[in-house]
Structure 1
């Protein structure tokens, strides 16, 4: 019996030693090679937290990359559109003193070029009423480098002339106490209709910058059926002059319609979209010829 008990004791000790070695070689927190594949219910609380954090981080990074790519895509797209639109603009530019009868109206506040006007005399300029709606303006004429001219002239008085051929329903005569004759030359006004058979041209504010003027040729429209704009029915046909065959150069409110060095019209609106229409309309100066003449004693 003693020998049997000793053998049983040895065997029990061996089993205990083997169990101890097994516990050391296979700890409970051992890294599992298939960590992600472990069933959710078999995971510990910390393991579940790690999985949630990992999945959240992956989602945030992925969404960040997607949003960044979208932003870069649309920025590039907008840039391409801007460059495309700019490339379509093709204005023939001339120096500001090429046409001495053109006045440049600059904002007193921002110094930016608002629009152009026509010099009527040594003290007055005709412009679209829309040009002064954004605030006070200062008149610049002739050379942009001449010490006397480049300082400009203040507007000391404004006379409003109603005109049904313009969206704002008025033109304005801007008067200054300064002498414009040193920097400009008045344009001729005639009480006559524009010659449809002769080429006319539009002088206006450039697409960019303020040290040049845009010039483009135009053909006078004689057939009313060619004019199909929303606000056309509100005007009498004799109050406006419309032209076609324009170049890829924007027409702005107040741009001058000239023929044979004579003023026949001022652009009635800047809402001219060449993508939809192939023409532009001007307030017919003939309709307000006598009103302008009454403001000045000069013979036109």
Structure 2
């Protein structure tokens, strides 16, 4: 899809553009009328690539219920941009322009483009495609020459993809598969090596270990504390071969065993409550599932 327009009012009054902005959940709050906004978009299920040339502007991504499971790769080829959010934003500084990765989440995102003309790519990615991408800040935000060399062919593919006037009248499966791999590679490159950052799964396991004594801690509350949706959290755990509920039970069983070792006279009912189990029955089932049985002597 190709489009070109001048000013935010034109975007709002042009059906094709307004429908796309609504579906993408983007709001243009300020757009310079000194020059036009030009864009080319390639869309697949769960994935959108866009190559945009835009004058100075301010854009809001409010993150409604339909966009909390989406991540954003934002690469400025020329110009100036900043992205801020109460949630997580990973920013890198390259010689050409800033690069950003916004992990899945539910916090509003504000995008400011300061230069008179800004040339950029953005990729909107469903969380299910990137469960292993880190979501914390990298230790070295400065962009290296080697990273630029890796990024160059990914950008070349993205530009050619967006330049397609229409998807080929053939099976687009191979093209979609390649696009998904490129999107994942871009996200991983900007987010940094897994060894330097933590994934949603890593962060979730740490929160479970810290808060498992709370009986009310479940998938929904854990997702809320991490600033992601329940679906994003579940996908991250599935990628690691475990369910959220199973990890919660395992953490509570470990805590129960620690409590018994620290205080052998503590009753099973007291241990169950202190370890975050909702009842003594659920406590007993969990202990048996992990091959442990605690009795009151």
Question: TM-score, normalization: structure 1?
Answer: 0.21
Q: Which has the larger radius of gyration?
A: 1
* Larger fraction in helix: 2
Question: TM-score, normalization: structure 2?
Answer: 0.21
